[in-house]
Structure 1
Amino acid sequence: MNQPMFDFPSYGKWLLTHKGDRNCRLLADRHYSRQHIGHPMFTRPGRNLVLRTADGMATWVTWKGIRDDGLDAFECTIFRNESANLSSDMIRSAVAATIAEWGLPPKDGIITYVDQSKVRSSNPGFCFIKAGFEKIGFSKVRGLLLLQYKLA
């Protein structure tokens, strides 16, 4: 008897998946940014690169779409890590996966926003900073911390 084999691209601990992935949706349901808990779609309209770990304990989504903030960037719209893996390592691998799948980021790099009032850390965005992102400001409307990763 033959075992079926699937050729899913993988990047370190990350596996490429789709925006309807149930495990990713369940993780998204526990993320502070989730707007409609339980809804089957957890990504924004537009181009999404969805990553997950094999055990379903971490997810990352990179998004490219029409922006309101004037930036020309890929955006990490969700990163949730409930695994034992170091978040900064997971972020570095997700950035590498994004570049491998989509090519070099636009002129403003890869960004993410962090709602400092919704995270438990006394140093919001620290795992992104350890992964090479820099604080570059705040969003105009909600005052979210804006972090950016640019290639050297």
Structure 2
Amino acid sequence: MFTDEVLEAVSVESRWRRAPELCDAVCQTAEVRRADVCVQRRHSAGVSTQTEPPECRERPAVDGSAEPSIDSPRLLRFLRQVEPLVSKELTQNSRSHAFDGFEVNWVDQPHTVSCLHTLHYPEAQKRHLHVTGVSWNVTGSVIACAYG
């Protein structure tokens, strides 16, 4: 398996008595561009919401019935105004792959939280410190705890 080998000697010229070779170099970063811009908006727009002020919700219907009155023309205007935005968002959400493979379990809803892993930091325990904040990176591979 092992055998003896005899090889030629290798010599390397000594450089310790020579002057070191030096070279001057310059490095400069690219210019940072800046600009000051002023913007002024001269047009304004009104926006509606689907909620009503409290005084409108609490008053009874004009005819005395228990059902509140509904301003149908105003409601129709609002629905026509927001329908394109709502439809656009629903269409985008229907194409999303964010929840691919996720199945909702409508029957068995967990009512408790389970602990899968406990992190211990002996130095903090010795000093009787408590976790005051937790943060993690996007992939979840790094977890940071703040102690206080």
TM bucket normalised to smaller: under 0.3
Give the TM-score normalised by the residue count of structure 2. 0.17
Q: Which has the higher strand share?
A: 1
Name the structure, 1 or 2, with higher relative contact order (CA <8 Å, separation 6+).
Answer: 1
Q: Higher Cα Rg: structure 1 or 2? A: 2
